[in-house]
Amino acid sequence: MRIVDLLRELRETRALTVVMVSHDLAVVAALCQEAAVLERGRIVSGGTPLRCWAPPGTPTRDG
């Protein structure tokens, strides 16, 4: 996770925006404040990582 720690440090100390494309949801959750889920090239969910990956119909996702 050294790269993730470096990206987090750079983001915080230099006010950088990081755009990450990943299949590793744990890394995205650790680094990103906002996320988007794509399906066939289209955004199907967006928001905080917790909201994006919550099952449909739950208060975390829909409320």
pLDDT in tens, 27-36: 888 888 899 9
Provide the Cα torsion 8, 13, 18, 23; round to 10°.
Answer: 0
Does position 58 have pLDDT exceeding 80, yes or no?
A: no
Contact 34, 48 (CB under 8 A): yes
Instruction: Output the pTM of the full model.
Output: 0.66
- Averaged pLDDT for residues 35-40: 90
